Structure 1
Amino acid sequence: MLSLRTQTIPTSRWRALASIFVIGVLLLVSSQPAWAENGLTFLTVNDGQSEQEYSVKLQILLLMTALSFLPAFLLMATSFTRIIVVLAILRQALGLQQSPPNRVLIGIALCLSILIMRPVWSDVYENAFLPYDQGEITLMQAFSTAEKPVRHFMLAQTQRNSLEQMLRIANEPVDSNVEEISFAIVLPAFVISELKTAFQIGFMLFIPFLIIDLVVASVLMAMGMMMLSPLIVSLPFKLVVFVLVDGWAMTVGTLSASFSTG
């Protein structure tokens, strides 16, 4: 029998190749100063008589690339994560598999996120976007100004133990000043804290529906209806209880009140 032997490239060699690639790109860019002034040639049109080149500047190219990460930023750096996780747990607690559908839950979570994050967006718009649009500050200054309210919101929701865990992973001092911690460390700590808080709220929402399931299962067992699924009988009771207590309004109110503004 023939045996296939696969060779794995060591991590050090991958790092060396990546370093060579980055250095080569930097040398290529630095050797072409016209790129910074005229931009990269994007399209060349030749009509037989004249030739015209259409170029794009590197700043615009990098900005367009950064915009591709906007959906991930919306998921990770806002209240969206906590809301969508709680709504998904609530649907599971009710015993509903596809109702409300995923698109409806995502729409509700997105609307609530926009409403909860409105003070942050207003601060970013007034202090970062408008001055940049009017030419009063540069693009990097606008990014630095916009980071402050977003960072303040994220730190207000981040638990200290999650932040310390990320600092240990990044080999940073645990007793570092909060204002000096990198945004790359604050972001994963914020996401971990949001997941923990979402699971805590979901657990509290799960308890009453679990009690209904236990009661229905006990009654069916006492009546000898062991072949009848308790979920079929308990589902209408859970829906009635949820509607009578105005469960959607209570869930939305609890989620909104769970976000600290400190």
Structure 2
Amino acid sequence: MIRLALLLFLLPSLAHAQDLGQMAEGLGQNSVMLLVMLNALSLAPGLAIMVTCFPFIVIVLSILRQSLGLQQSPPNLLIVSLAMFLTWFIMDPVLREAWEIAGLPLSQGSIGFDEAFRRGIVPFRAFMEARTNPGTLQSMAEIAPAGAADAESLSVLIPSFMLSEIQRAFEIGFLLALPFLIIDLVVAAVLMSMGMMMVPPVVVSLPFKLAFFVVVDGWTMIAGALVRSYS
């Protein structure tokens, strides 16, 4: 009788301990999933930027700042912010289409995350394919590992798109730097002819470059050209 009483007394405690163990196991699994989701969210902005026109715009603006001879003006934060808003302006049709075919059904619960990703990447894929250099795409497909050599694979398309955008950005940056290089050369030649060899040409040419850039309304002109290049 005593043993039976002890067993009946311990049964609720054992059941409670088992529930606590299952609860702890569930919390451990949820913690791992939460950690994975947080890491994925921290990487999501960087991954999303790579399939837009942001790299192209920020490189062009950075080269423009260097060509003007300004090291910290505009500051990096302002250049990145301007590039982000221009990216939003250019990518608005793509973002709207992705939201209509993937984001909205996912928020309504009619499709799962995997299906939403497959649908949502379609507008971005079309955008990248229209801007990717075919030669770069073919080269990346040739050097891709086995199983990823398909030119339509995202693992091939995304780096090909990024390389094409970087190449195009440097080409435009070269054209932007030429007028300011000519100003630097003219100022250096004038200073040499006047015997003012100890005066840094950059110090003298900077006001002329700024005046030239302001007169032609350079920021508006370049922003408009960048936007029109994606139309």
TM-score (norm 2): 0.83
Alignment of 1:150-165 (within 5 A): 150-165=124-139
Task: Choose 203-212 or 61-70, whichever is displaced more.
Answer: 61-70
% identity of equivalent residues = 47
Q: What is the Cα deviation at residue 172 of structure 1?
A: 6.5
Distance 1:85 1:113 in 2: 13
Q: Which has the larger radius of gyration?
A: 2
Structure with the larger RCO, 1 or 2 (CA within 8 Å, 6+ apart): 2
Matched, 1:166 2:140: yes
1:196 to 161, 167, 181: 167
Letter in 2 for 1:100: P
For 1:146 and 1:84, locate their aligned partners in 2 and report how far apart those are by CA, in whole Å.
Answer: 25
1:146 corresponding residue in structure 2: 120
How many residues align? The count is 209
Structure 1 residues 145-195: Cα deviation after superposition (integer angstroms, max 9, x where no partner): 00100111111111011101110111579x96x5xx111111100110010
1:77 matched to 2:75? The reply is no
User: In 2, distance between residues paired with 1:160 and 1:127?
Assistant: 28
1:68: Cα distance to partner? 2.3
Residue of structure 1 equivalent to 2:68 = 94
The 1:102/1:40 distance shift into structure 2, 3 A limit, reads farther
CA RMSD of aligned residues (A): 2.3
Higher strand share: 1
1:233 lines up with 2:204 in the alignment: yes
Paired position in structure 1 for 2:223: 252
TM-score after normalising by structure 1:
0.74
Q: Aligned letter for 1:42? A: L
**Cross-structure match for 1:6:** none
SS of 1:42 mapped into structure 2: helix
**Does residue 125 of structure 1 match 2:99?**
yes
Amino acid at match of 2:159: P
Flag structure 1 segments of 5+ consecutive residues without an equivalent: 1-37, 44-54
Between structures 1 and 2, the one with greater helix share: 2
Residue 218 in structure 1 maps to residue 189 in structure 2: yes
Confirm or deny that 1:116 pairs with 2:101: no
Matched residue, 1:23: none
Contact 1:40 1:57 in 2 (8 A): no
Q: Is the 8 A contact 1:120 1:149 kept in 2?
A: yes
> Separation in 2 of the partners of 1:239 and 1:125?
42
Change (3 A) 1:185 1:143: same
Cα offset, 1:61, TM superposition: 5.9
